[in-house]
C-alpha cells in the first residue's frame, strides 16, 4: 500500500512553470523517475524545491500544492531520477506517481547570452523589421537541429498559424522586457 510522504502544503509561486511529472518509483530507497517535458531539463536539476500538484486524472494521493524538497536529480541512462529527504522508501515514491512538477521560474539557472528558455518565449509578440505584426508565439517545435516558433494570428476573422525558424538568420532580436521578437520575415512567406 503506498503511503503519501509528509509534504508541506504550499502556494504555487506566481512564476511557476510546469516542467514534468513523476513517472514512477525507482529502486527501493525512495528514488523516483521523472518524465521531463523539455529536452533541456536544466530547471529540474538546478531547483532544490519542486512544487507538486496531483495528476489531472487517476487516483489523487493529495490535493492542492505541496512542496517537495529535492536532494538530488540526475540523468540515469535515458531518464531522470531524483531523491528527496521527504521520500525515504519505495512506497512513498509510488504515492507520488503521476504528480505534476512545477519549478519557480526564478529557480531556473540563468540562460546564457543568446539562449532563451521556451517558457520565456511563449506569448511574445513577433513583428518584422517593418513593424508588421506577424503573430504571438503559441508553441515551439524542435525539428531536428533547429527550433521553430509557432505563431498564432488572425486573418479574415480566422485563427491561423505561421512558423518561423528560431535561428539567427531570421530572428534579429528577442526583447524579454518588451515581450517582443523582431524577425526578418514577411507576412506572405
Q: What is the pLDDT of residues 21-46, one digit of tens each?
A: 999 999 989 999 999 887 667 888 88
Mean pLDDT value across residues 100-106: 92
pTM of the complete model: 0.72
Q: How confident is the model at residue 113 (pLDDT cuts 50, 70, 90)?
A: confident
Q: What is the pLDDT of residue 2?
A: 62
The overall average pLDDT reported for the chain is: 90
The domain 8-107 having CATH identifier 2.40.30.60: the answer here is yes
Q: How confident is the model at residue 81 (pLDDT cuts 50, 70, 90)?
A: very high
Mean pLDDT value across residues 78-96: 92
The superfamily in CATH containing domain 118-183 is PRC-barrel domain (2.30.30.240)
Mean pLDDT value across residues 93-99: 93
User: Measured between alpha carbons, how far is 73 from 68 in angstroms, rounded to an integer?
Assistant: 12
Give the residue, 63 or 66, on which the prediction is more confident: 66
| pLDDT, tens digit (0-9, with 9 covering 90-100), for 121-144 | 989 999 999 999 999 999 888 777
- Out of 32-46, 81-95, 105-119, give the one with best mean pLDDT: 81-95
CA-to-CA dists, residue 167 to 71, 80, 151, 187, angstroms: 36, 29, 15, 18
Q: What is the pLDDT of residue 39?
A: 62
pLDDT at 1 over 60: no
User: Measured between alpha carbons, how far is 76 from 27 in angstroms, rounded to an integer?
Assistant: 12
pLDDT at 14 over 60: yes
DSSP classification of residue 106: G
User: Measured between alpha carbons, how far is 94 from 24 in angstroms, rounded to an integer?
Assistant: 6
3-state helix/strand/coil string of 3-38: CCCCCEECCCCCCEEEEEEEEEEECCCCEEEEEECC
Spell out the domain ranges in the chain: 8-107, 118-183
Identify the CA nearest to 99 among candidates 40, 12, 28, 27.
12
Q: Which residues make Cβ contacts (< 8 Å) with residue 151, sequence separation at least 6?
A: 126, 134, 135, 136, 137, 138, 161, 162, 163, 164
Q: What is the pLDDT of residue 131?
A: 95
CA-to-CA dists, residue 18 to 44, 83, 101, 162, 165, angstroms: 10, 19, 6, 25, 24
Amino acid at each position: 500500500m503506498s503511503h503519501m510522504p509528509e509534504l508541506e502544503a504550499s502556494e504555487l509561486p506566481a512564476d511557476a512553470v510546469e516542467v514534468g511529472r513523476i513517472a514512477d518509483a525507482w529502486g527501493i530507497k525512495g528514488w523516483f523517475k521523472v518524465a521531463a517535458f523539455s529536452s533541456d531539463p536544466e530547471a529540474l536539476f538546478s531547483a532544490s524545491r519542486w512544487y507538486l500538484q496531483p495528476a489531472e486524472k487517476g487516483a489523487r494521493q493529495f490535493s492542492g500544492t505541496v512542496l517537495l524538497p529535492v536532494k538530488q536529480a540526475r540523468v540515469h541512462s535515458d531518464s531522470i531520477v531524483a531523491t528527496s529527504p521527504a521520500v525515504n522508501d519505495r512506497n512513498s515514491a509510488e504515492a507520488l506517481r503521476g504528480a505534476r512538477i512545477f519549478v519557480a521560474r526564478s529557480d531556473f539557472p540563468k540562460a546564457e547570452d543568446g539562449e532563451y528558455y521556451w517558457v520565456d518565449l511563449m506569448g511574445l509578440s513577433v513583428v518584422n523589421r517593418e513593424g508588421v505584426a506577424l503573430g504571438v508565439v503559441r508553441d515551439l517545435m524542435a525539428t531536428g537541429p533547429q527550433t521553430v516558433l509557432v505563431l498564432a494570428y488572425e486573418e479574415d476573422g480566422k485563427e491561423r498559424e505561421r512558423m518561423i525558424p528560431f535561428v539567427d538568420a531570421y530572428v534579429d532580436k528577442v526583447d524579454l522586457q518588451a515581450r517582443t521578437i523582431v524577425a526578418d520575415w514577411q507576412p506572405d512567406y
